[in-house]
Amino acid sequence: MVQEKFACLTYHAVGNASDQYTVSDKQLGDHLSLLQAEGFLVEGFEQLETHLRLKQPLPGRYAILTLDDGDSSSMRAAEIIASHNCTATFFVTRDRSQKKPGYIREPEIRELRRLGFSLGTHGATHRKLTFVSESECLEELKGSKKWLEDTLGEPVCYMAAPGGYINSRIMHQAQDCGYLLIGTCNEWMNSTETMSLPAPVNRVNVRKHFSERNVRQIVDGSLGFYLWRQARSAALALPKQIFRD
């Protein structure tokens, strides 16, 4: 069976912290075990780009996995992901990785790449891109890209908007900077039938309280789940300006 629709699961950190975006090691492992058991191929933006560029049909059961922020638990998350024969894309913020405690540094970023994971930018300062001037936004996009390219020694063409604050202007700026896949926080399924590079990727932020049933709903495209998430997003749409001019 050829599948044209797929979900993107986004995590932030693994560990014992009480915030809603930190899942336990066991939760992440259980989620990936569920996907494995149900026959999903779980990949990152790099593999998705290849599928889109070559116009390859996706496997029957397919999902994308991303991790935002570059938390210090990223290396542990990578270990768990690899142990389940999955891959992912890690989005890192320049200033946090350069000087803020609790975030991975450049050697660890290079190690993630050596292990086969792809990397993308998450802004230079993690500022909300829709709340800064056009020139400041451009510096966020260009500055983070140059830093990560210098760190990895290779081109970088993936980004995720900090906090999901993005609109059409920023999408165009990102594309002009050479980004091919742009992660959003628009919680909806993706369809390769309507995607061509460069393209946005809808992503669902996985929270601590999400059950395995919720994860199954996300990857199966449960309309009830997504309408619930869209209703929640609508309540936040004005400040976030998601895909609005």
Q: Band of the pLDDT at 151, cuts 50, 70, 90?
A: very high
Q: How many domains does the chain have?
A: 1
pLDDT at 240 over 90: no
3-state SS string over 204-227?
EECCCCCCHHHHHHHHHCCHHHHH
The pLDDT of residue 169: 95
pLDDT at 2 over 50: no
The pLDDT of residue 242: 45
Q: What is the pLDDT of residues 11-27, one digit of tens each?
A: 999 999 999 999 999 99
DSSP state of 31: H
Whether 172 is in a domain gets the answer yes
Q: How far apart are CA 209 and CA 23, in angstroms?
A: 9
Please, which contacts does 53-56 make with residues 24 or more away whose CB atoms are closer than 8 Å? 53/197
C-alpha dihedral sign at 55, 183, 242, 6 = positive
> pLDDT > 70: what percent of the chain?
95
Tokens, residue 175: 């594309």
Q: Band of the pLDDT at 237, cuts 50, 70, 90?
A: low
CB-facing half-sphere around the CA of 38: CA atoms within 13 A: 18
Residue 59: CATH number of its domain:
3.20.20.370
Q: How far apart are CA 94 and CA 124, in angstroms?
A: 5
The pLDDT of residue 244: 43
* Residue closest to 184 by CA, chosen among 237, 118, 109, 125: 237
Q: DSSP string spanning 170-202?
A: HHHHHHHTT-SEEE----S-EETTS--SSEEE-
Whether 245 is in a domain gets the answer no
Q: How far apart are CA 75 and CA 115, in angstroms?
A: 10
pTM score of the predicted model: 0.93
Q: How far apart are CA 17 and CA 21, in angstroms?
A: 9
Range of the domain at 159: 5-240
Q: What is the pLDDT of residues 61-101, one digit of tens each?
A: 999 999 999 999 999 999 999 999 999 999 999 999 999 99
The pLDDT of residue 231: 85
Whether 86 is in a domain gets the answer yes
pLDDT at 164 over 60: yes
Q: How far apart are CA 183 and CA 115, in angstroms?
A: 22
Task: Tell me the pairing of strands 89-92 and 62-69.
Answer: parallel
Task: Tell me the pairing of strands 5-11 and 204-205.
Answer: parallel
pLDDT at 236 over 80: no
pLDDT at 223 over 70: yes
| Phi, psi angle pair for 136, to nearest 5° | -65, -40
Whether 170 is in a domain gets the answer yes
Tokens, residue 91: 């989005």
Whether 166 is in a domain gets the answer yes
